[in-house]
């Protein structure tokens, strides 16, 4: 994979999700945001070392339980039919991308993101 730096200093791989879509990987970091939301109430000010250790122990337990589910072939979070359809449309759109028709690609992708 070619790594290029664009004009604003960010690596294209940092913000470009084209390859992630082709590999059926998440386009967003919603899973990270979800994790932050889950631990936020427990991560109050003035945490003691023992409370932090307990917080990490519980999180490890949750992650191990999720890993077991994944290894058994279970789905952790069910997507809505609307989101499944949108992901499928985006994947097909990316697979049919033609560099010579960038204008149509941008317009079409914009429409897909609105839906």
pLDDT in tens, 40-83: 776 666 778 888 898 889 989 988 998 999 899 988 877 788 88
- Judge if 72 and 85 occupy the same domain: no
- The answer to whether residue 112 is domain-embedded is yes
- pLDDT for res 44: 67
- pLDDT for res 64: 94
- Judge if 112 and 83 occupy the same domain: yes
Cα torsion through 104, 26, 22, 7, rounded to 10: 60
Give the range of the structural domain holding residue 47, as residue numbers without chain letter.
Answer: 43-77
- The answer to whether residue 61 is domain-embedded is yes
Query: Please, which contacts does 41-48 make with residues 24 or more away whose CB atoms are closer than 8 Å?
Result: none
Beta-carbon contacts of residue 27 (< 8 Å; ≥ 6 apart): 17, 20, 21, 90
- pLDDT for res 23: 80
Q: pTM of the predicted model, to two decimals? A: 0.47
- Judge if 87 and 55 occupy the same domain: no
pLDDT digits (tens, 9 = 90+) for 83-106: 888 888 888 888 887 777 777 877
- The answer to whether residue 33 is domain-embedded is no
């Amino acid at each position: 994979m070619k790594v290029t730096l664009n004009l604003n200093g960010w690596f294209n791989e940092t913000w470009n999700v084209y390859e992630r879509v082709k590999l059926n990987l998440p386009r967003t970091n919603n899973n990270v945001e979800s994790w932050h939301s889950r631990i936020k109430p427990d991560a109050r000010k003035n945490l003691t070392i023992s409370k932090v250790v307990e917080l990490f122990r519980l999180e490890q337990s949750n992650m191990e339980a999720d890993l077991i589910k994944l290894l058994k072939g279970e789905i952790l979070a069910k997507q809505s039919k609307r989101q499944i359809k949108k992901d499928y449309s985006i994947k097909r759109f990316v697979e049919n991308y033609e560099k010579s028709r960038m204008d149509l690609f941008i317009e079409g992708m914009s429409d897909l993101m609105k839906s």
